[in-house]
Amino acid sequence: MSIITTDRRDRFARSWKLVGIHSKSTWKGSLLNNRILSRAMSRLVDRFQSQTIPVLESTCYEMGKEDCKQLMDTLNIKDAFASSCLEPMEMICLLNGIDSEILSKSKTNASMKINACPFSDVLVGIVPNIVICKNYVRGTIQNINKNATLLQPEMKCKEDGVCEFVVNI
């Protein structure tokens, strides 16, 4: 009987070794970290909404700028035209498997339509998607051109069929 028990333990140990316990523990740690942060954000928003939302807006704006800096090198963006301001967002959509299309391109005006929201799974139930989207995208476009302004005539989170971003300089 002890031989069978030992064999079972050995098989179990080999299976975990093949999977890699270290990667599993890292994954669980990351999952726990996300759960704690989500719950803490939810409680902060519930308790201090008028003070928490501006902090979230600022954070999303800064993250948009940081992500855009990395994408600018990858996309080889050299100019500060309106159409260039939308290229990082187009890449973000591509990386998320979302169809997007830059419709009009000029030096001072450009528009882009997106068929799904790349922010739909961020802080779900804690803050509206528009808070994250508007500030993150504004950060990406203003990282390329500080004078760029963002308009969103259509929004998926407002039950429109697509999201539309219009950049004016």
Could you give the domains of the chain?
49-168 (3.30.1380.20)
* pTM of structure: 0.75
> At residue 144, does pLDDT exceed 50?
yes
Supply 104's token pair.
């009009």
The Cα 33–Cα 30 span in angstroms is: 5
pLDDT at 23 exceeding the cut of 50: no
Percent of residues, the chain, with pLDDT higher than 90: 33
In 3D, which of 125, 148, 153, 157 has the Cα closest to residue 64? 148
More reliable by pLDDT, 14 or 94: 94
